[in-house]
């Protein structure tokens, strides 16, 4: 089979690598000078002051790369506008912690960019309950906004150790790229690929390496929310595209499996906090990566393991689809997965309490 890779895509990928690296190199000293930094203390794992410019660098590298594509990007104006809003709100939050209400308004505006400018929404959930396609109708708008808010914040919450959020997003993006290729969504594939190239460059500076024991930059709230928004965009796009393509193996539940890990962690944290009478909005160490750290595991090992775990969940969902398992059984399996995750984190919390 002949694989044709356009020259413009190759050049754009090179631009992405160059622009992202240059942005990281130039912005690090600026961030240290103006105070766009994360200082050690509290739940934080790092011992040095870290610049919070990873998200800005990824966004700028991604935007520069799109200029080289010789294809109209009108359909992605909402993606860029929503991303810019989250970057702006995130940088303000990284400088000086904003009120939750302000962050929520910014995230809602980004979700509206997805719906209004991008003309995207979650209208169909597939055959979840053995009775045919679930059409959300008038609830489509609300469900789409709630999904975007949930996923954006879920990715933000797993950004607790080096390489975790970026690695999870990279793995999920690669699986979504495979799905987009399966029904020839060429433009979506190009845009997503360039985004993943920028994320890969960031990870080279964020994940500890044998010759460099610590990260050089962090995503910041700007970066984690931006990454979550981009994956949410493509998740909505591809989930609805699978419904429209009658002969597609993949379906909306497949997409749910692909993006499962941050959502499972968010569900677990909210569940445990509500069960103990605490606010789900207050920070604590209920996240899986913190529980594993409290049990004595290495942060690097935890990060790699959870990235692989997230990727494997997506592979399971895709294997279900290839094995022609019905959407209803896939959805039921996902519910059992969620219950298993809640049980696992409950056991880990008990072990941490005993150890303390």
Residue at 9 is within a domain: no
| 68: DSSP letter | T
For the beta carbon of residue 244, count every other beta carbon within 10 angstroms.
9
Residue at 114 is within a domain: yes
Phi then psi for residue 296, to 5 deg, are 100, 5
* pLDDT at residue number 248: 65
Residue at 2 is within a domain: no
Residue at 152 is within a domain: yes
Residue at 4 is within a domain: no
Residue at 185 is within a domain: yes
Angle at 67 between CA 61 and CA 72, to 5 degrees: 130
* Spans of the chain below 70 pLDDT: 1-4, 41-47, 118, 210-212, 242-248, 356
**The total number of structural domains that make up the chain:** 1
Residue at 330 is within a domain: yes
Q: If you write DSSP's letter for every residue of 94-114 in order, what string do you get?
A: HHSPPPHHHHHHHHHHHHHII
Residues 6+ apart with CB under 8 A from 27: 51, 53, 56, 57
- The pTM of this model reads 0.94
Element (H, E) at 51: strand 50-51
Q: How far apart are CA 193 and CA 314, in angstroms?
A: 18
- What's the domain range around 325? 15-355
Residue at 1 is within a domain: no
Element (H, E) at 37: strand 37-38
């Amino acid at each position: 089979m002949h694989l044709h890779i356009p020259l413009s895509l190759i050049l754009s990928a090179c631009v992405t690598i160059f622009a992202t690296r240059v942005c990281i190199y130039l912005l690090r000293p600026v961030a240290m000078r103006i105070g766009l930094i994360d200082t050690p203390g509290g739940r934080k794992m790092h011992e040095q002051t870290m610049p919070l410019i990873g998200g800005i660098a990824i966004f700028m590298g991604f935007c520069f790369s799109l200029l080289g594509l010789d294809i109209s990007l009108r359909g992605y104006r909402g993606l860029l506008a929503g991303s810019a809003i989250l970057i702006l709100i995130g940088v303000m939050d990284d400088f000086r912690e904003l009120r939750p209400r302000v962050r929520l308004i910014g995230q809602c505006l980004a979700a509206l960019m997805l719906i209004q400018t991008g003309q995207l929404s979650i209208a169909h959930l597939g055959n979840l309950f053995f009775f045919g396609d679930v059409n959300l109708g008038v609830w489509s708008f609300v469900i789409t906004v709630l999904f975007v808010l949930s996923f954006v914040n879920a990715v933000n919450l797993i950004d607790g150790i080096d390489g975790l959020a970026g690695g999870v997003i990279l793995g999920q993006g690669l699986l979504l790229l495979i799905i987009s290729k399966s029904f020839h969504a060429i433009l979506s594939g190009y845009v997503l690929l360039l985004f993943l190239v920028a994320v890969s460059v960031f990870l080279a500076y964020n994940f500890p390496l044998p010759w460099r024991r610590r990260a050089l930059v962090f995503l910041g709230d700007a970066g984690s929310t931006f990454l979550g928004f981009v994956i949410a965009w493509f998740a909505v796009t591809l989930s609805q595209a699978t419904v429209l393509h009658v002969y597609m193996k993949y379906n909306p539940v497949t997409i749910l499996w692909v993006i499962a890990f941050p959502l499972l962690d968010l569900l677990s944290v909210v569940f445990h906090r509500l069960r103990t009478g605490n606010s789900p909005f207050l920070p604590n160490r209920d996240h899986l990566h913190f529980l594993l750290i409290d049990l004595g595991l290495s942060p690097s090992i935890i990060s790699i393991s959870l990235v692989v775990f997230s990727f494997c969940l997506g592979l399971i969902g895709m294997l279900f689809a290839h094995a022609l398992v019905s959407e209803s059984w896939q959805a039921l399996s996902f519910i059992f997965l969620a219950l298993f995750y809640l049980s696992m984190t409950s056991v880990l919390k008990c072990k941490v309490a005993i150890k303390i």
